Chain A
């Protein structure tokens, strides 16, 4: 059962051939057995999950089943879910029980979907390896010595190890796509504003976007159908008519024009990743697509721009963790200032502190123009690059990450090397575009490689179609790690 697609599970549930309780128990059992190996979950609450499964089964029995009713999904521990501990991978929220549901969680609940558990992640989504979590590093199911990518590494590992049929994550600079690539699964970050950020703990508000992670493009489309939608509580949520993201899955790719950015196949890209991506592009030509070389000349600016803007927003977003109202408070302190200092010194990890410091610095009086304002201007140039590119092609393809999964500890001492692993994904967030990653082969160390697909604004349905057609012709997405 654990290898069934969401469509299969959904059909079996609707036909009452299996129950949500059975499906949920199956995956909880797998979590029980496999999570000690991969540390993909921070919190599992079997009782709460099974309770939701029973509600779903009642719904189904009453003939009220909708698509995905009764399906259990793993949630990145960044989404507030009422009654669930929601830590964001941090010590500072280690005792925080969310008193409300994120918009996304509400929508899942309305569908009668089950929360399978809260997945591990880089602290406050700051990281590309899931090593910065207070709850210990996540391990890659393809090789436990390797990282799963990050920050949604727990969600990626959970899906790769079949501990969950699907998961949700968030992507600020690649945090859905890069771990999807490194764990051999599919993931999509929608256009900024498609999924409500309400209840999704903020890292960098102008970049954060939630999205699904699953084993296939078809599964992604089904989950995105539930996640996406206008929410008046998020002022950046886009008020657009609801879409069926599965509507174009079966369309042919004949005539599709794929743009290949020169800058994405240049220095820094490892040979094995390049080969897998080029083979995937070859497959697309077989499916009727043509390719055109394009240029995104400001690509090299995206990392410096991102590492000004994201920390600036984060330094302010994380100010609320002050020990006053909720969350961790240092046990001993002399006065208010001392309480703040000790609480935050003890409650935040090194990477979060680094980014708060960078962010505070770039917003400081006298530095604001040179850093923040300049970065905002460059951000527009980067978006302009894409606008130009989409005049020449329908979709952009390249590698999701320059290398396959690196080893735990390999880059954790060198932040710049770590930041470079998001070189291809970050610009997409800066432009607010949708991006996805699908498995397209393996490295020479037999670790998964991801194909990065970047679409124009609101072209998610087309991107899912492009991914789905590839997955009909190939079986990379069906490969499983050994020993699970």
Chain B
């Protein structure tokens, strides 16, 4: 366990990581189904591969949430959102890496994979940072509301 992780509440880490990973799956799923693009996308993904990708996202989110929670006291927007954006970017790039490994296993063309990596890294870092900061704002509101509701 990395230094700082020991101070993180394991229930909060598990809750937020699972909340983020499940939301990152369910929200795009609903959107893709609504626009009629889900069937063709799922056709190309084997069940076991899909499970592996989700477990990778869940594990990655658990790890980065631990690092984020170790870097914040959850008591201010900027203090919470800046490390969340940083670790969100790490999550984005990490998940891109997992995707590239998966693609490389079925598409043995190193040049194509390298191009995906070069173009995808900054894009996934940016998207991860935005999503991470967005989740931080939601988490901040959820934790503050929980503290108000939890005390009689």
Partners in one complex: no
Chain A residues close to B by CB (< 8 Å): none
